[in-house]
Amino acid sequence: MKSVTIGDRQVGPIGLGTWHMGDQPQIRSQEIKALQTGLDAGITVIDTAEMYGEGRSESLVGEAIQPFKREDLYLISKVYPWNASKTQLPISLDYSLKRLGTDYLDLYLLHWSGDVPLEETVLALETAKAAGKIRDWGVSNFDTADMEALWRIPGGDRCVTNEVLYNLGSRGIEYDLKPWMQRQQLPVIAYSPIAQGDSLGDDFLANKLLQDIAAAHHVSIFQLLLAWCIREGQTLAIPQSGSADHVLDNLKAADLVLTEAEWQALAKVYPKPTQKQPLAML
């Protein structure tokens, strides 16, 4: 199985996303089981945010990870842009840590660019890192110009990743953002790598090519989409699922190997962008 390097940490290429999880009390136990099933199967990464359910997702994760050794996990959370100031970020971080039941995060992300000056946010993140409350920090939903602006700030190049929308039907980052990140040796964290269960209008499940390739390898189209997303070994995909069976299916995608002809066929039907596209966000 491929691994992805984030900062100085090696993690598997598939993690556990938690967007929308924790919102429905009637399925809480099912969602906890899904997360714990993934961890039992060897997944180490869980991605959450203070925005997700206004903390309910973090609380769910905190409950799910209780039986596991903290040092075996890689926990990611995110701060709202308006909470990313030197005074508010430490408060938001402490609330996140309390909900998660831990005293540190492996990775803390600025959820998207806002009105707080980046210089101030970088300083607040570096202060949290020096205090041992976060191991590394990064950003989310940053386009190329945003990343270039970050790199011009003292300490901005200590950012270790950028979490963005990326899947077979949303390849816009491949025009300039992904190449820029590769030059800086920054991995991509891909959210919605299976297009939220094919609910974003791409109609993957109806595509004959995807059906044929998936059938040839005895996998689902969703597993095929995940395998595509992590194909280069520089992307951490974080699909969200509240089903234990689906979590295990997702993990198997890391071992899927396609032929060169199959990769080329996919690229023909879902081509790389040939011009700059605005960064897609959900």
**pLDDT digit string, tens, across residues 36-68:** 999 999 999 999 999 999 999 999 999 999 999
> Phi then psi for 118, rounded to 5 degrees?
-60, -35
What per-residue confidence (pLDDT) applies to 84? Answer: 98
What per-residue confidence (pLDDT) applies to 1? Answer: 64
What is the rounded average pLDDT of the residues 230-237? 95
Give the pairing type, strands 74-79 and 235-237: unpaired
**pLDDT digit string, tens, across residues 153-189:** 999 999 999 999 999 999 999 999 999 999 999 999 9
| Structural contact between residues 173 and 140, judged by C-beta atoms closer than 8 angstroms | no
Model confidence at 151, pLDDT cuts 50, 70, 90, reads: very high
pTM of the predicted structure, to 2 decimals: 0.97
What is the rounded average pLDDT of the residues 117-133? 98
**Rounded CA gap, 263 and 258, in Å?**
7
What per-residue confidence (pLDDT) applies to 197? Answer: 84
> 182-214 burial, b for 16+ CB within 10 Å, e for fewer?
eeeebbbbbbbbbbbebebebebeebeebeebb
Closest CA to 233 of 185, 163, 162: 185
**Rounded CA gap, 5 and 160, in Å?**
9
The per-residue pLDDT of the chain, averaged, comes to 96
**pLDDT digit string, tens, across residues 69-88:** 999 999 999 999 999 999 99
What per-residue confidence (pLDDT) applies to 171? Answer: 96
**Rounded CA gap, 251 and 255, in Å?**
8
**DSSP string spanning 105-136?**
EEEEEE-S--SS-HHHHHHHHHHHHHTTSEEE
Q: How many CB atoms lie within 10 A of CB 280?
A: 18
**Packing angle, helices 221-229 and 208-216, rounded to 10:** 90
**pLDDT digit string, tens, across residues 193-229:** 998 888 888 899 999 999 999 999 999 999 999 999 9
Tell me which DSSP letter residue 87 carries.
T
